Amino acid sequence: MRADPRDYQLVSPGTLEGVLSLLHREPGQWIPIAGGTDVMVLYSAGKLANKKLVNLWNVPELRQILCSADCIRIGAACSYTALRNHEVISGEFPLLAQAASWTGGIANQNRGTLGGNIANASPAADSLPALLVYDAELALVSARGERRLPYGNFHTGYKQTALAPDELILEISLPRLYSGYISHARKVGARRAQAIAKVCLAALARVADGTIQDIRLALGSVAPVPLRLTETERALAGKKIEPSLIESVRKMVAQEIRPIDDIRSTARYRSAVAGNLVAEFLEKLAEKRSHA
């Protein structure tokens, strides 16, 4: 056995205040555990940085989904199953619902949480490109107070985040602005299910008379952090969707990403697939128009 449970301490205050005061008293000493689907992998491998764990699963503020006219606020410890089953998320934020549906298997979706996916900070995480294109904002909370941060500023480098040692992700809010957009999500992995992405795409666009009015593109597994393709978006905005544009987009994408070789894939393959996925989205937009 690489980790012996007798060496570990798990506490479950059951209130947000209780968790925060623990983190405040001993910053960096406690590992928050929500669904545990990442934490327990490290535990089993004997690789957890600390031996003190604090449970988030039974903190009500972290488990609720609240809707207002302008936005939806998702508690950080909401599971993928809760996201998939939520009417507003599946209706207005299909990229997030889709990402939730292909994260691991059903057992994983019942335990794994959106906040855990964000804090774990893997560039290959499935839900993160969707958060980029939907302009998600995070509420971070500690005993010192609450602050808000655009999700796009949260990942500061490979596996690095803006979270202070005494802070938690409280909630993720998404503005309700994109229901009229055409959306497209793709995950390319070794298998159709139960695979970490070699490349994944979340894409949104508004098109009128064959011209791109607004386009939002984000990729996973092509850089140290999930990446919004702002240069490519700028180059595409205002353009007519024509075969020459679709052909040239592959080059634009290749210039903007920074993929690497690793156990799952090669930089060359990732670069080719990333370009193809964006080109496929433009083809979908062109096709929608021809059927309109």
- The answer to whether residue 56 forms part of the interface with ligand FAD (CB under 6 A) is yes
Compute the distance between CA of residue 267 and CA of residue 18 in angstroms, rounded to an integer.
45
Least gap, CB of 270 to ligand FAD (angstroms): 16
Compute the distance between CA of residue 32 and CA of residue 13 in angstroms, rounded to an integer.
12
Task: Specify the stretch interacting with ligand FAD by CB under 6 A; choose among 28-36, 83-91, 265-273, 278-286.
Answer: 28-36
| Nearer residue to ligand FAD within complex by CB, 154 or 281 | 154
Query: To 5 degrees, how large is the angle CA 65–CA 163–CA 20?
Result: 65
- The answer to whether residue 33 forms part of the interface with ligand FAD (CB under 6 A) is yes
- The answer to whether residue 36 forms part of the interface with ligand FAD (CB under 6 A) is yes
User: Among residues 19, 37, 123, 203, which is the contact residue for ligand FAD, using CB under 6 A?
Assistant: 37
Least gap, CB of 265 to ligand FAD (angstroms): 15
The residue among 72, 126, 117 whose CA lies nearest residue 95 is: 126
Compute the distance between CA of residue 115 and CA of residue 106 in angstroms, rounded to an integer.
18
- The answer to whether residue 152 forms part of the interface with ligand FAD (CB under 6 A) is no
Per the rule left: phi > 0, alpha: psi between -120 and 50, beta: everything else, 14 is left
- The answer to whether residue 215 forms part of the interface with ligand FAD (CB under 6 A) is no
| Nearer residue to ligand FAD within complex by CB, 200 or 215 | 200
> Which of positions 253-292 make contact with ligand FAD (CB under 6 A)?
none
> What type of residue sits at position 235?
A
What string marks each residue from 98 to 127 as x (binds ligand FAD by CB under 6 A) or -?
Answer: -----xx---x--xxx-xxx-xx----xx-
| Nearer residue to ligand FAD within complex by CB, 36 or 275 | 36
Contacts for 186 with CB less than 8 Å, ≥ 6 apart? 200, 201, 277, 280
The residue among 61, 74, 49 whose CA lies nearest residue 18 is: 61
Q: Which residue reads 């930089």 in tokens?
A: 267
Number of residues forming the site for ligand FAD (CB under 6 A): 29
Least gap, CB of 290 to ligand FAD (angstroms): 34
Q: Calculate the alpha carbon distances from 104 to 31, 196, 200, 226 in Å.
A: 23, 8, 14, 18
| Interface with ligand FAD (CB under 6 A) | 31-39, 41, 56, 76-77, 103-104, 108, 111-113, 115-117, 119-120, 125-126, 168-169, 196
